[in-house]
Amino acid sequence: MPGIGPRSAERIALWMNQSRDARAAEIALAIEAAAEGIRPCELCGFFSTGPVCEICGDASRDGSLLCVVEQATDILPLERTGVYRGRYHALGGRIAPLDHVGPEQLRIGELMKRIETEGPKEIILALGADVEGDATANYLADLLREKPVSVTRIAQGLPAGGGLESADELTLSRALSGRRRIDNC
Ligand SMILES: [Zn+2]
């Protein structure tokens, strides 16, 4: 299992075997249920136990905002912020020619279909701040130019709690170019 080294595995195995609190059968069932019962949402690609996930099925979410992420797992930290109430679309990766991933391997056709049927007003690109993330963002921005939606990209800059002296030049230059007026906050 990823993230569990030999020492942790040994500790878990011993705990399962020796502790009365370790409900091994229940854990086994839970793992089995998770492995078999969780599938990608047909709309957004997020984890779901039914055809459509909880977020897509939630009528109180703001349908005018559609946030595009690379992977379904990217939705988790965004949801934890609690500030975003729109919907999501996971591409299933990003354009990476070196890894032989082109636009046709991503859920871009599904995204275009959702824009037609759901009519969001703003597409927020929450993609990685690296070469592949940039390539994917540029590709999507080109593709969406003719559509009646505004396309935005999440800001890139300094991490919370970080000083300028610890930031690299690329981060700083992006923070500078993404600056905004203080009275707009
Ligand atoms: Zn969904």
Summarize pLDDT for 149-179 with one digit per residue, the tens: 999 999 888 888 878 888 889 889 988 888 8
Give phi and psi for 82, each to the nearest 5: 75, 0
Q: How far is the CA of 126 from the centre of ligand 1 (A)?
A: 16
**pLDDT in the model for residue 15:** 92
**pLDDT in the model for residue 79:** 95
Instruction: For residue 103, give the nearest of 94, 90, 113 by alpha carbon.
Output: 94
Question: What CA–CA distance (Å, rounded) separates 46 from 76?
Answer: 9
Q: How far is CA 41 from CA 14, 127, 136, in A?
A: 37, 20, 22
Q: How far is the CA of 44 from the centre of ligand 1 (A)?
A: 4
Q: How far is the CA of 86 from the centre of ligand 1 (A)?
A: 11
Q: How far is the CA of 1 from the centre of ligand 1 (A)?
A: 26
**pLDDT in the model for residue 24:** 87
**pLDDT in the model for residue 85:** 96
Q: How far is the CA of 80 from the centre of ligand 1 (A)?
A: 16
The residue with tokens 């354009």 is 95
Query: Does residue 68 carry a pLDDT above 80?
Result: yes
Question: What CA–CA distance (Å, rounded) separates 169 from 130?
Answer: 14
- pLDDT, tens digit, for every residue of 88-140? 999 999 999 999 999 999 999 999 999 999 999 999 999 998 999 999 999 99
Q: Crossing angle, helix 108-118 and helix 131-144, to 10 degrees?
A: 40
Q: How far is the CA of 75 from the centre of ligand 1 (A)?
A: 10
Q: How far is the CA of 53 from the centre of ligand 1 (A)?
A: 4
**pLDDT in the model for residue 69:** 98
State the pairing for strand pair 122-126/62-69: parallel
**pLDDT in the model for residue 185:** 55
Could you tell me how many residues make up the chain?
Answer: 185
Q: How far is the CA of 147 from the centre of ligand 1 (A)?
A: 22
Instruction: For residue 67, give the nearest of 101, 42, 91, 96 by alpha carbon.
Output: 91
Segments in the chain forming alpha helices (H): 6-18, 24-37, 54-57, 75-81, 108-118, 131-144, 169-177
